[in-house]
Amino acid sequence: MNRTLQTVEEELVGLLQKHGDTFLNTKDISLKLGVHPYTVYQAVRELRRWEFQIQSERGKGYRLVESPNLILPAEIKKNLKTKIFGKKIYSYRKVGSTNMLGFRLAETKAEEGTLIVAEEQTKGKGRMGRSWYSPPQLGLWMSLILRPDIPPFKAPGLSICAGLALALAIKEMTGIEAKIKWPNDCLIDGNKVGGILLELSAELDRINFVIVGIGVNVNHSEKDFPKDLASTATSIKIKVGHNISRLSLLTSFLEKFERIYLDFKKNGLSPQREMIKSFSSLLGEKVTVKFGKEKIEGMAEDIDDNGSLVIRTKKGEKMVTAGEVTVL
Amino acid sequence: MNRTLQTVEEELVGLLQKHGDTFLNTKDISLKLGVHPYTVYQAVRELRRWEFQIQSERGKGYRLVESPNLILPAEIKKNLKTKIFGKKIYSYRKVGSTNMLGFRLAETKAEEGTLIVAEEQTKGKGRMGRSWYSPPQLGLWMSLILRPDIPPFKAPGLSICAGLALALAIKEMTGIEAKIKWPNDCLIDGNKVGGILLELSAELDRINFVIVGIGVNVNHSEKDFPKDLASTATSIKIKVGHNISRLSLLTSFLEKFERIYLDFKKNGLSPQREMIKSFSSLLGEKVTVKFGKEKIEGMAEDIDDNGSLVIRTKKGEKMVTAGEVTVL
pLDDT of B2 over the 70 cut: no
Q: pLDDT category, A323, cuts 50, 70, 90? A: confident
Share of chain A above pLDDT 90, in %: 74
pLDDT of B139 over the 80 cut: yes
Q: pLDDT category, A1, cuts 50, 70, 90? A: very low
pLDDT of res. A241: 94
Distance from CA of B192 to the nearest CA of A (A): 19
Peptide bond just before A183 cis, omega within 30 deg: yes
Share of chain B above pLDDT 70, in %: 99
Q: Which of A123, A200, A203, A210 to mutate to test the interface with B (most CBs of B within 10 A)?
A: A203
Over residues B109-121, the mean pLDDT reads: 95
Give ipTM to 2 decimals: 0.73
Query: What's the pTM value of the predicted model, to 2 decimals?
Result: 0.80
pLDDT of A292 over the 80 cut: no
Per-residue pLDDT reduced to its tens digit, A245-266: 999 999 999 999 999 999 999 9
Residues of A at the B interface, defined by Cβ within 8 angstroms: 103, 107, 127-129, 149-153, 155-156, 159, 183-184, 197-206, 208, 291-292, 321-323
Q: Give one DSSP letter per residue of B162-222, joined into a string.
A: HHHHHHHHHHHHH----EEETTTEEEETTEEEEEEEEEEEEETTEEEEEEEEEEEE-S--G
pLDDT of res. B1: 41
Query: Is the backbone of residue A293 left (phi > 0), alpha (psi -120 to 50) or beta?
Result: alpha
Q: Give one DSSP letter per residue of B31-45, joined into a string.
A: HHHTS-HHHHHHHHH
A202 and B203: CB-CB below 8 Å? Answer: no
Q: pLDDT category, A2, cuts 50, 70, 90? A: low
Per-residue pLDDT reduced to its tens digit, B230-257: 899 999 999 999 999 999 999 999 999 9
Residues of B at the A interface, defined by Cβ within 8 angstroms: 103, 107, 127-129, 149-153, 155-156, 159, 183-184, 197-206, 208, 291-292, 321-323
Over residues B256-266, the mean pLDDT reads: 97
pLDDT of res. B78: 84
Over residues B127-148, the mean pLDDT reads: 93
Which residues from B are below 8 Å from A153, CB to CB?
Answer: 153, 321
Over residues A108-116, the mean pLDDT reads: 94
A14 or B220: which leads in pLDDT = B220
Domains and CATH numbers, chain A: 5-66 (1.10.10.10), 73-279 (3.30.930.10), 286-327 (2.30.30.100)
pLDDT of res. A25: 93
B91 contacts: CB under 8 Å, gap ≥ 6: B71, B72, B73, B116, B117, B118
Report the residue of chain A nearest B307, measured CA to CA: A204
Rounded to the nearest integer, the mean pLDDT of chain A is 92
DSSP state of A72: -
pLDDT of res. B198: 95
Distance from CA of A313 to the nearest CA of B (A): 21
Per-residue pLDDT reduced to its tens digit, B166-200: 999 999 999 999 999 998 899 999 999 999 999 99
Per-residue pLDDT reduced to its tens digit, A130-182: 899 999 999 999 999 999 998 888 888 999 999 999 999 999 999 999 999 99
pLDDT of res. B153: 83
Over residues B56-78, the mean pLDDT reads: 88
Looking at the partner chain, which of B150, B153, B201 has a beta carbon nearest the beta carbon of A201? B201
- A·B CB contacts under 8 A: 87
Per-residue pLDDT reduced to its tens digit, A268-291: 999 999 999 999 999 999 999 987
pLDDT of A209 over the 90 cut: yes
**How far, CA to CA in Å, does A176 sit from each of A91, A133, A171, A182?**
28, 23, 5, 19
B200 and A203: CB-CB below 8 Å? Answer: yes
B205 and A152: CB-CB below 8 Å? Answer: no
Q: Which long-range contacts (CB under 8 A, 24 or more apart) does A190-194 make?
A: A190/A281, A191/A232, A191/A233, A191/A234, A192/A217, A192/A232, A192/A233, A192/A234, A193/A217, A193/A233, A193/A234, A193/A235, A193/A236, A193/A239, A194/A163, A194/A166, A194/A170
Over residues B312-319, the mean pLDDT reads: 92
